[in-house]
Amino acid sequence: MSPFLLYALVPADQASAAMTAASGVLSAVSEGSIAVLYEERDDPPSGSREQLVTFQKVVSDICRTGPTLPVRFGSVVDDLTEVRDLVHEREEQWRQRLDVVAGHVELVIHARDDTAPRPSPVGRGQGREYLLSRARAQHHAERLYADLVGALGAHCRETRRLTASDEIRVACLVPEAGLETLSILVKRWAEAHEGRHATMTGPWPPFSFTQEDGADELAT
């Protein structure tokens, strides 16, 4: 049986337009008010950069037709019945999320403060000092995050803190008409204090906002 690579969830009445926008490479399976867009393939995706970029472009094309919940890349099923069953089970939840993301895009903001305290190097007999320095750095990062979200939050429908190693990373769900405003606000935020840096990427499909904040991630 051919594998089906899943791309996105859209309102059922949007499926036709979405398939057209995706240059006819996708099909749709509908259950209730939700349609799942998929591609029938000879093989599962290998995960090449080209496939990643293509997937992103297709999902972006779908997004231009209306509210869209992207599916995580690499989601492959052999039987569409299980997709129908899952949509049946989660239709109300996904319909609500489609309402939330409608007319919005995702921006990701990377922020750091070069003046922030840094953890001390680990050395023999310096465990307490190291832990205290880690705590100071963590505390500073938390304040930086709170300050950034405080500055931008009113202009975002929702925000999500993303994992990051040596910086703050925040996903913002922003009205399509609000991109420029948010860009200006981020610039002001960075310029308000010496040592701050901010980078924005996007607009992305709303990958970070397919579920309510704090909801169980796995659809099992």
**CB–CB of 173/158 below 8 Å?**
yes
207 in contact with another protein (CB under 8 A): yes
What is the distance of C-alpha 115 from the center of its chain? 29
Distance CA 107, CA 124 (A): 43
| Among residues 30, 56, 120, 133, the one that binds another protein under rule CB under 8 A | 56
**CB-count burial class (<10 Å; 0-12, 13-18, 19+) for 51:** middle
Distance CA 66, CA 14 (A): 7
Cβ nearer to another protein, comparing 74 with 103: 74
27 in contact with another protein (CB under 8 A): no
42 in contact with another protein (CB under 8 A): no
130 in contact with another protein (CB under 8 A): no
Closest CA to 71 of 176, 219, 174, 172: 219
Tell me which residues in 86-115 interact with another protein (CB under 8 A): 86, 94, 106-108, 110
61 in contact with another protein (CB under 8 A): no
- Cα three-residue angle 100-201-203, rounded to 5 degrees: 40
71 in contact with another protein (CB under 8 A): yes
- Cα three-residue angle 71-74-47, rounded to 5 degrees: 135
Distance CA 60, CA 206 (A): 10
201 in contact with another protein (CB under 8 A): yes
Cβ nearer to another protein, comparing 95 with 125: 95
Cβ nearer to another protein, comparing 21 with 113: 113
Cβ nearer to another protein, comparing 50 with 125: 50
**CB–CB of 205/104 below 8 Å?**
no
218 in contact with another protein (CB under 8 A): yes
Q: Which residues bind another protein (CB under 8 A)?
A: 3, 6, 9, 44-49, 52-53, 55-56, 69-77, 82-83, 86, 94, 106-108, 110, 162-166, 171, 179, 183, 186-187, 190-191, 193-205, 207-208, 210-211, 217-220
